[in-house]
Amino acid sequence: MLRRLNDALPGLVLGIVIYGIVVELVGVWFVEDKLRYSTGLLIGIGVAIGLAINIAQVIRDAVEIYGADGSRNRLIMKSVLRYLVVVVVFFVMMKFNLGNMVMAFIGVLGLKVSAYLQPFAHKVILKLQGRGDNSLEENCNESDL
């Protein structure tokens, strides 16, 4: 389903989830309120995944409706709505004391971390599958002999 929106989206979501697991496993040992730490991080990771899916949808819509009347305004509104949802989620967290707000923010930053690490992770996956750049160069060198 995610690949239908964007080829990079499944890797991006997987990166966000892995980031969340690493932050949870490393940080939970150093805090007193483990439940609020974990729930705040879980909410932040959920918001980051939602943002990634929404961004992919906005990009798809931008490509499909490029040039249509009012398409620019619709895309801007979708982007503004995305950040408004983040503010509302943070406000609800604060109002009902649902989790650690700092950890929720760190969870949302998982989107950025995953986006920056995705090209590197893609290269590593290709090398593990034997389809990396080095294997192509080795095949070319062997055929030249």
State the alpha helices, DSSP H only, in the chain: 2-5, 9-27, 34-64, 71-96, 101-108, 110-128, 133-144
Residue carrying structure tokens 């590197």: 120
What is the average per-residue pLDDT within 19-40?
A: 95
pLDDT (tens digit, 9 = 90+) per residue, 36-86? Answer: 999 999 999 999 999 999 999 888 887 777 666 667 788 888 889 999 999
Q: Please determine, for residue 101, whether its predicted confidence score (pLDDT) is greater than 80.
A: yes
pLDDT (tens digit, 9 = 90+) per residue, 71-85? Answer: 778 888 888 999 999
Q: Please determine, for residue 139, whether its predicted confidence score (pLDDT) is greater than 70.
A: no
Range of the domain at 106: 2-144
Number of structural domains found in the chain: 1
